Homo-oligomer: A and B are copies of this chain.
Amino acid sequence: MRELGEFGLIARMNAGRAQAPDVVLGPGDDAAVIAAPAGRYVVSADMLIQDRHFRLDWSSPREIGAKAIAQNAADVVAMGSAPSAFLVSLGCPADTTVEFIDGLVEGLWAEAGRAGGSIAGGDVVSAPLLVISVTAFGDPAGRPPVLRSGARPGDIVAVAGRLGWSAAGLAILSAGLDCESCPELVAAHRLPCPPYEAVLDLPRGTAVTAMTDVSDGLLADIGHIAESSGVAIDLDTGSVRDETLDHAAKLVDADPLAWALTGGEDHAFAATFAAGQQLPDGWRRVGRVGAGAGVTVDGRGWTGLVGWESFTGGG
């Protein structure tokens, strides 16, 4: 890293890469230029800190890079928008190896491509620990943004993607268990796999009234929809039961339902659909919107830890 220098590193990050169609001007000038065919664009930013959001002994460089993109792409997709480009600012120690950077960059580009975008630029600075800060850009693609505030009583609550797998994988790793005991959960923690297509392929005219990605846990994120929309939401535990979680929970003496309801970082999508709307491919019903306020589980209050919040949470 010290040998490459900032400019050498940036050149290495972009060598041989093709930019996505919406990137009018990529890296190399003071700023990048992105197309906004809809006359507006969607933006979101997240920061990942070493030993807090990832651990070098638990994740490969490629997985860390892909995860950083995935969580930002999920925010853009949760607005109903198609990811177009990403900026990545990287803080890293001077003794970071070129192999590490190559792996990280490979992961950044791989997940950006899966989401439909490219790495259009960023910044590289020296820092005492790894910091990865990503901004994601999206094109509304002809749809008005799907906000958290549009849920109405009578709507169906549905989820696309996994719930609780990342949290379960983290518990397996934290307990020091052999990763082979639940390889799919450990993999889900190392590399979330947001089902972008479940949102981006929604047929035109689908009556989706509110949407968010599940980054802090289903209860917490559904709670944001309930609060923003001024409605109550009841979740049905029968619909979030998962045999894979049940199996892992026995190994580490945990509650699989707590993983499914409060585990963050899977970046599933949670949405509400108008009553009568047939659920599109990839979506499963997990609850119902009613009048009132707050989130209940099988008609009752949930007494466990709700979601995950920086500074006060357990993460």
Contact = CB atoms under 8 A, between A and B. Distances in A.
A35 to B, nearest CB: 5
Contacts of A140: 33
Contact of A30 (B44, B89, B123, B127): B44
A228 to B, nearest CB: 8
Nearest to A131: B131
Contacts of A36: 36, 38-41
A149 to B, nearest CB: 8
Contacts of A76: 30-31
Interface in A82-107: 85, 87-91, 94
B148 A30 contact: yes
B31 A81 contact: yes
Interface string A274-315: 000000000000000000000000000000000001111100
A21 interface: no
Nearest to A5: B312
Interface string A22-39: 001100111111111111
Chain B CB within 10 Å, residue with most, of A44, A75, A211 = A44
Contact of A124 (B33, B44, B213, B310): B310
A53 B133 CA distance: 16
Contacts of A20: none
Given A31-B76, A89-B133, A309-B5, A123 B46 contact: yes
A45 B6 contact: no
Query: How many protomers of this protein does the assembly include?
Result: 2
A40 B36 CA distance: 5
Interface residues of A, number: 75
Which interface residue of A125, A211, A311 has the most chain B CB atoms within 10 A? Answer: A311
A76 to B, nearest CB: 6
A138 B43 contact: no
A34 B43 contact: yes
Contacts of A32: 42-44
Nearest to A44: B31
Contact of A49 (B39, B91, B148): B91
Contact of A34 (B31, B40, B94): B40
30 contacts: A5-B311, A6-B309, A7-B309, A9-B311, A25-B145, A29-B149, A29-B212, A30-B76, A31-B75, A32-B43, A33-B42, A33-B79, A33-B140, A34-B40, A36-B40, A44-B121, A45-B121, A45-B133, A46-B89, A47-B89, A47-B131, A49-B125, A49-B128, A52-B126, A94-B311, A125-B310, A126-B311, A128-B129, A133-B133, A135-B135
